[in-house]
Structure 1
Amino acid sequence: MAAVALLSSAALLTACAQEEELRPPRSVGEGAWYSSSKEERRGYCEAYRARDPQRPIHLPTYASAESEDEFADDFYEVLREKC
């Protein structure tokens, strides 16, 4: 019985994670986050957590009508939320 509950919980968590990525992005920063690979996301989070000026976060390229500074602010907000 406990194994069934554990499997159900795991399936529910997986479905929620997939649903999150299926939603349209709330911002261009979030769109850039979701269009990045898992390896790129890991690198963004490592650089964000390090806060090392010698190892800056390399922002992804993403089509946007925002200025470079606005996009950077938006992407950093996503990093604050996701990392």
Structure 2
Amino acid sequence: MRRVSTAVLALALAALLAGCAQMGPKPAHTRSPGEAAWYESTKKQQREYCAAYRAHDPQHPIHVPSFASAMSENEFADDFYGAVRKKCTPA
């Protein structure tokens, strides 16, 4: 009888540990596609985005990079513009 209860306890602990290992830590912050595109840009590109954002010049709009996402082209452009606004506006 003692062997059976020890085996059951060992199996229960193994299942508990396996479940905990699968959960893993959650990311602190998930990035939107626009934010991800910002972070994948070079520092030079980021400076260019900020310069275009601060200039508010319709003749030289912010160049929206291509980025794989499930968003439509316009949705992504809006999301990227929001990321640029956050990064380029002084706090």
TM-score (norm 1): 0.69
How many pairs were matched up?
61
Alpha-carbon distance between aligned partners in 1 of 2:32 and 2:58, rounded to the nearest angstrom: 26
Structure number with larger C-alpha Rg? 2
The ranges of structure 1 where at least 4 consecutive aligned residues each deviate by more than 6 angstroms after the TM superposition are none
Matched, 1:55 2:78: no
Unaligned runs of 5+ in 2: 1-27
Which residue of 72, 75, 78 maps to 2:77? 72
* C-alpha RMSD of the superposition: 1.4
Q: Indicate the SS of the match to 2:62.
A: coil
Alpha-carbon distance between aligned partners in 1 of 2:40 and 2:63, rounded to the nearest angstrom: 15
The residue aligned with 1:37 is 42
Percent of residue pairs identical = 62
- Given residue 42 of structure 1, which amino acid in structure 2 is its aligned partner? R
TM-score (norm 2): 0.63
Unaligned runs of 5+ in 1: 1-22
